[in-house]
């Protein structure tokens, strides 16, 4: 009898334990499944494949590197998914990646300013700051805000095409045997970039000129605005774009900031705020709430824009087309 009670009790306790173990392993499998591609990518990149190992800080660079380098290189992106490149600090394993790379490309212009990453990049002669090089070559194309350089240069495809040329030059310098291979791929990429630039321009210019004013989470869309939203040679193009958070999203929003955006919404008759995929919605929610309290019709667009981060496997150029489509759809039909 005692044995029976013990048996029943044993199972009574054991069923939830078993369930807990099963649930634990299911979670582990899901977690492992989600991270498997990243880990595999990292392992194969660390393998001695005899290919040139190229590390890029952001996907906007990594996509160009992979397009030009093709089968002759192994390309890896350091700051993946929704992580913020402005504040990214080195984590376990990053040191190995940086050491293992034959070439490193980063944006520069103050984008990667997390202290550990910044000091590593600046002390390493394998690393090329694409934005800093573009600033040297084409200073007139680089934008500033309150005397601080705006690092979001990839938001204008015609400027980012220069980054493609710089990547090509670095690849042929380290691998001269692959020069013709890289050249043909770089030319194909340049053609695709020129085509995408024109497509975005045409798409955005279907929006009536008077409606081409917009608000996003942080100051990442200045280059996009100047190149695509503004009229040709427009002097006051900066007035077409406003954001509550500065060049690096910081979530700090004062009543003055909120009022500034509210005034902007009223002045330009804007009813849609555009959220960015990796920036907290708090700032836009505060503005939308404050606007509604004042009787304005304000909503946050459900389709998010990509600026500092690109979700999933979306190619940089498809990300730019996505942004243009979302902006164009919502501004044409507010």
Residues that bind Zn ion (CB under 5 A): 220, 308
Output the smallest distance, CB 170 to Zn ion, in A: 24
Judged by beta carbon, residue 68 or residue 142, the one nearer Zn ion is 142
Output the smallest distance, CB 279 to Zn ion, in A: 8
Judged by beta carbon, residue 63 or residue 245, the one nearer Zn ion is 245
Judged by beta carbon, residue 88 or residue 264, the one nearer Zn ion is 88
> How far lies 192's CA from each of 145, 158, 182, 189, 315, in Å?
30, 11, 15, 5, 12
- Torsion on CA atoms 170, 175, 180, 186, rounded to nearest 10: -30
Find out whether 326 and 274 touch, Cβ atoms under 8 Å. Answer: yes
Judged by beta carbon, residue 84 or residue 234, the one nearer Zn ion is 84
Judged by beta carbon, residue 220 or residue 310, the one nearer Zn ion is 220
Judged by beta carbon, residue 53 or residue 218, the one nearer Zn ion is 218
Output the smallest distance, CB 253 to Zn ion, in A: 16
Torsion region of 94: left, alpha or beta (phi above 0 gives left; psi -120 to 50 gives alpha): alpha
Output the smallest distance, CB 290 to Zn ion, in A: 24
Output the smallest distance, CB 282 to Zn ion, in A: 16
Output the smallest distance, CB 221 to Zn ion, in A: 10
Residue nearest to Zn ion (CB): 308
Q: Which among 116, 106, 188 has a CA at the least distance from the CA of 153?
A: 106
The bridge status of strand 241-242 relative to strand 214-216 is: parallel
Output the smallest distance, CB 248 to Zn ion, in A: 6
Output the smallest distance, CB 85 to Zn ion, in A: 7
Residue 24 makes CB contacts below 8 A (sequence gap 6+) with none
Residue 113 makes CB contacts below 8 A (sequence gap 6+) with 86, 87, 248
At residue 311, what are phi and psi to the nearest 5 degrees? Answer: -75, 140
Judged by beta carbon, residue 67 or residue 308, the one nearer Zn ion is 308
Output the smallest distance, CB 143 to Zn ion, in A: 13
Judged by beta carbon, residue 175 or residue 308, the one nearer Zn ion is 308
- Torsion on CA atoms 99, 102, 106, 108, rounded to nearest 10: 80
Judged by beta carbon, residue 113 or residue 183, the one nearer Zn ion is 113
């Amino acid at each position: 009898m005692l044995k029976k009670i013990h048996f029943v009790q044993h199972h009574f306790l054991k069923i939830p334990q078993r369930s807990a173990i099963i649930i634990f392993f299911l979670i582990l499998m899901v977690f492992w499944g989600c991270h498997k591609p990243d880990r595999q990518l990292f392992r194969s990149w660390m393998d001695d494949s005899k290919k040139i190992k190229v590390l890029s800080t952001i996907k906007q660079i990594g996509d160009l590197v992979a397009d030009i380098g093709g089968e002759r290189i192994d390309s890896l992106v350091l700051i993946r998914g929704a992580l913020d490149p402005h504040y990214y600090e080195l984590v376990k394993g990053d040191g190995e990646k940086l050491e293992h790379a034959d070439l490193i490309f980063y944006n520069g212009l103050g984008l990667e300013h997390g202290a550990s990453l910044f000091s590593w990049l600046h002390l390493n002669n394998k690393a090329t700051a694409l934005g800093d090089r573009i600033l040297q070559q084409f200073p007139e194309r680089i934008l500033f805000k309150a005397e601080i350089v705006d690092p979001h240069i990839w938001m204008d495809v015609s400027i980012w095409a220069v980054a493609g040329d710089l990547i090509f030059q670095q690849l042929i310098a380290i691998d001269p045997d692959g020069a013709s291979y890289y050249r043909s791929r770089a030319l194909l990429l340049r053609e695709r970039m020129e085509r995408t630039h024109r497509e975005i321009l045409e798409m955005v210019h279907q929006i009536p000129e008077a409606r081409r004013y917009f608000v996003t989470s942080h100051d990442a869309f200045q280059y996009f605005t100047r190149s695509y939203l503004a009229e040709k040679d427009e002097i006051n193009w900066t007035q077409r774009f406003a954001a509550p958070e500065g060049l690096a999203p910081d979530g700090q929003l004062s009543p003055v900031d909120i009022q500034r955006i509210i005034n902007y919404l009223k002045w330009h008759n804007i009813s849609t705020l555009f959220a960015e995929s990796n920036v907290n919605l708090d700032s836009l929610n505060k503005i939308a709430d404050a606007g509604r309290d004042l009787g304005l019709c304000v909503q946050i667009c459900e389709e998010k824009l990509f600026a500092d981060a690109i979700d999933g496997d979306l190619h940089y150029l498809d990300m730019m087309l996505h942004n243009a489509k979302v902006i164009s759809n919502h501004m044409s039909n507010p």
